Structure 1
Amino acid sequence: MHAPKKPGLLARLSPRRTTRILRRALATGAVVLAAASLQPLTAHAAPQPVVGGTRAAQGEFPFMVRLSMGCGGALYAKDIVLTAAHCVDGSGTDTSITATAGVVDLRSSSAIKVRSTKVLQAPGYDGKGRDWALIKLARPIDRPTLEIAATTAYNHGDFTIAGWGAAREGGGQQRYLLKATVPFVDDATCEDAYGDDLVPGEEICAGFVERGGVDTCQGDSGGPMFRKDDTGAYLQVGIVSWGEGCARAGYPGVYTEVSTFAADIARAASGL
Structure 2
Amino acid sequence: MNKLLRTFKRCAAAGAVILAAISLQPLSSAQAAPQPVVGGTRAAQGEFPWMVRLSMGCGGALYTQQIVLTAAHCVSGSGNNTSITATAGVVDLQSASAIKVKSTKVLQAPGYNGKGKDWALIKLARPINLPTLPIATTTAYNSGTFTVAGWGAAREGGSQQRYLLKAQVPFVSDASCQQSYGNDLVPGEEICAGYAQGGVDTCQGDSGGPMFRKDNAGAWIQVGIVSWGEGCARPGYPGVYTEVSTFAAAIKSAAATL
Give the TM-score taking structure 2 as reference length: 0.91
Q: Does 2:82 align with 1:95?
A: yes
- What amino acid does structure 2 have at the position aligned with 1:219? G
1:228 corresponds, among 214, 218, 235, to: 214
Is the Cα–Cα contact under 8 Å of residues 160 and 225 in structure 1 kept in the other structure? yes
Separation in 2, partners of 1:27, 1:195: 28
1:23, 1:245 within 8 Å by CA — same for their partners in 2? no
- Once the two structures are superposed, what CA deviation does each residue of 1:133-161 show, in whole Å capped at 9, x if it has no partner? 00000000000000000000000000000
Are the counterparts in 2 of residues 105 and 175 from structure 1 also a CA contact under 8 Å? yes
What is the aligned partner in structure 1 of residue 27 from structure 2? none
| Structure 2 gap ranges (5+) | 24-35
Structure 1: 5+ residue runs without aligned partners?
Answer: 3-15, 37-48
| Count, aligned residues | 245
Instruction: From 58, 68, 71, give the equivalent of 2:55.
Output: 68
Distance in 2, Cα, partners of 1:132 & 1:171 = 24
In structure 1, give the amino acid aligned to 2:22: A
Q: Which amino acid aligns with 2:55?
A: S
Q: Does 1:271 align with 2:239?
A: no
Quote the RMSD (CA, aligned, Å). 1.7
Q: What letter is aligned with 2:145?
A: D
Alignment-mate amino acid for residue 117 of structure 1 = T
Moved more, 163-172 or 211-220: 163-172
Give the counterpart of 1:255 among 227, 241, 256.
Answer: 241
Spell out the pairing of 1:1-272 with structure 2 (5 A cutoff): 22-27=8-13, 29-35=16-22, 50-209=37-196, 211-272=197-258
CA displacement at 1:168 relative to structure 2: 1.5
Instruction: Provide the rounded CA distance (Å) in 1 between the counterparts of 2:257 and 2:149.
Output: 29
Q: Percent identity?
A: 77
1:138 maps to a residue whose letter is A
Aligned to 1:7: none
- SS, match of residue 8 in structure 2: coil
What SS class does the counterpart of residue 22 from structure 1 fall into?
Answer: strand
Q: Alpha-carbon deviation of 1:216?
A: 0.2
1:73-101, CA deviations, whole angstroms, 9 ceiling, x for partnerless residues?
00000000000000001000000000000
Give the Cα–Cα distance (whole angstroms) in 2 for the partners of residues 262 and 74 of structure 1.
Answer: 14
What amino acid is the match of 2:103? S
Deviations 1:55-86 (A, max 9, x none): 00000000000000000000000000000000
Cα offset, 1:31, TM superposition: 2.3
Q: Which amino acid aligns with 1:63?
A: W
TM-score relative to the length of structure 1: 0.87
